[in-house]
Amino acid sequence: MKGFLCNLCFLGLLPGLAVAASGPSTVKGVIMDKACSSKAEVRLLPTGIEGGMIVAEAHTRECALMPACQKSGYGIFTWDQKFLSFDAAGNRKALEAIKASKKLDDFEAEVTGIVNGDTIKVETLKLQ
């Protein structure tokens, strides 16, 4: 019985090990804050489709730098309509990039890091 329980525990750890061993991924999309990310979620309404990449690209520098938006953290809205939240280091890199940019909106970026669920541990972040 003890061996059976050990095997079950080991098998339960395998998926987590596979994710950790997969290494960094590169993700392309648009940087925006978490507080506004729900506006970019694609929704099907009786009048048509709402949200998506058009909303993410229109997200402004002014909004992203508002205190409440900074506090919510940042992430990347991907071309396949998903939002990946950044870790603490990624939040700092995103804030620095937005502040340094002369762009007023459309913060297209390429982010490299370890994806774990709906979060990415950012290693590099480059605005396009």
6-65 residue pLDDT tens: 444 444 444 444 444 579 999 999 999 999 998 888 777 788 776 788 889 999 999 999
pTM of the entire predicted model = 0.77
Euclidean distance between CA atoms 119 and 90, whole angstroms: 10
φ, ψ at 69 (rounded to 5°): -70, -40
Q: For residue 53, what pLDDT is reported? A: 85
Torsion from C-alpha of 7, 12, 17, 19, nearest 10 degrees: 150
Tell me the per-residue pLDDT of 77-89, one tens digit each, with 9 for 90 and over.
999 889 999 999 9
**Mean pLDDT, range 61-72, rounded to an integer:** 96
Comparing 9 with 103, the larger pLDDT belongs to 103
